[in-house]
Amino acid sequence: MSAPSPHAPLAITMGDPAGIGPEIVAKAFRDGRLDAALVIGDVEVMRRAVRCIGATMLPVAVIERVADLPRVPPGCMPVLPATQLPALPAFGAIDAAAGAAAHDCIRRATELALAGEVGAVVTAPIHKEALAAAGIGFPGHTEMLQAYAGAPEVRMMLANDELKTVLVSIHVSLRRAIEAVTFENVLQTVRIAHRSAALWGQPKPRIAVAGLNPHAGEGGLFGDEELRIIGPAVEAARAEGIDARGPFAPDTVYMRARDTADHPGEFDLVIAMYHDQGLIPVKYLGVERGVNVTLGLPFVRTSPDHGTAFDLAGSGRADASSLVAAAEMARRLAAGRAAGGTG
């Protein structure tokens, strides 16, 4: 992989063209909140998105290479075509062609990031059923990016200005998520979280590890994974010099970690054992504030903390706040990587 310049632009993928991704991207450009960025997408999809939000003064500027970006006039939305749909998909409908197009944009953005042409990748929402309909064998962004980047292990982090949580498992059934709570998976999640925290200025993060069972097993009364697996993984991490603690009761650890002006958090991030255990607390504080970050990739990738919102697609009412937050975090993390941090 080539190292990007600290001033390299952001690549913003358009997401599923039947969802709100293209219009929130267009809104962010319209409002002047995506400087030094380009869209990886379908030109006609992005032109339709501009019409949806009534942004008559936002021209779409088609570019052939990232290097063309400095020549784009101010006030335009630069689009680097990565796909061309045979027809514009209907809003709010699962469409195999839309899923394939979203996938093509992600793959192209990954190539640009690995080549060092862009400083980070911000992905607009995709629809998992549309991916499946297109025959794409990945359940989501995280697994797709891991494969195309050749990353040995990655983890999902969801973050806002009050909480950060990193997941041991991601898009699997609850039964499989429980099976994924192994000594090695928990320890490796702690390691990746510890190593990645340098990107946002915390080289020695205080890491809380949540238990799997109610009350963290209550000494083995409600399950023994804490005693057999999670606790030993925490001790192994501590032996490596990582400030990891736990396992803690999962229904209270987030309250302890939440960092506000009135309540400084006891921890800098929380390791969650499965998807909903970690995402519910962060999303409860406000979807518009949350950002999804993939840790362990050889480049920075963030995304909004919401899905395709098919019920809103095409209405022009979708909120671009989470996308903007994702872009802002991508810039901070890319700057941390350029300064010598790892992800």
Is 301 marked as a binding-site residue? yes
Question: Residues near 51 by Cβ (< 8 Å), separated by ≥ 6?
Answer: none
Is 215 marked as a binding-site residue? yes
Closest CA to 270 of 283, 253, 295: 253
Is 182 marked as a binding-site residue? no
Is 283 marked as a binding-site residue? yes
Is 185 marked as a binding-site residue? no
Is 141 marked as a binding-site residue? yes
Is 110 marked as a binding-site residue? no
Is 71 marked as a binding-site residue? no
Binding-site positions for a divalent metal cation? 171, 215, 275
Q: Which residues does the annotation place in the binding site for substrate?
A: 141-142, 283, 292, 301
Binding annotation: 141-142, 171, 215, 275, 283, 292, 301
